Structure 1
C-alpha cells in the first residue's frame, strides 16, 4: 500500500503479461500487440477475438488503480481513523 502507483503498475504489468505468456513485457499495449500478431499469424485469415487479448496500457492502468484503491479501502475498513489516500 505504500508503493507508488508507477511501481505498482510496473510489477502488475509484468505479472499479467506473464499470465499471457509474455513475461518480459512491462507495458500491456506491447503485450497486446505481440499477442495480436502471433495469433493473427497462426490462424491465417481469421482475426483473433479482442476479448482474448490483454487490455491496453491505459485501460489496464485504470483497472489497476481501481483495484488498488478498493484493496486500500478494504484493508482500512475497520480502522477508526484510516489514513488519507491520494486518488489522483
Structure 2
C-alpha cells in the first residue's frame, strides 16, 4: 500500500467558525509547492515527481490536468516545454 499526500483548501471567510478543509488533490509523491493564479480560480500544486497538477477552484477543485516538466531550456529563449497527461 502506498502513501498518498493530500492538497487541502481552506475557506478562511467562513463566518460560522473554524474553516473546514476541502480536499482538492492526492499525490503519490511529496507536494513541494502550491500557488494560486491572480484571480484565485486555479490552484497549481507541484510534486517531487516533477509534475504540476492544476485544479479549478471555482468548480470545487476539479482537476484540469497533470503536466510534467521537461528538464531543458530552449537555447534561444528562456522557455520550458511541458507535456500534458490526461487525468480522466
Query: Which one has more relative contact order, counting CA pairs under 8 Å at least 6 apart?
Result: 1
Q: TM-score normalized by structure 2?
A: 0.23
Q: TM-score normalized by structure 1?
A: 0.23
Which has the larger strand fraction? 2
Which has the larger helix fraction? 1
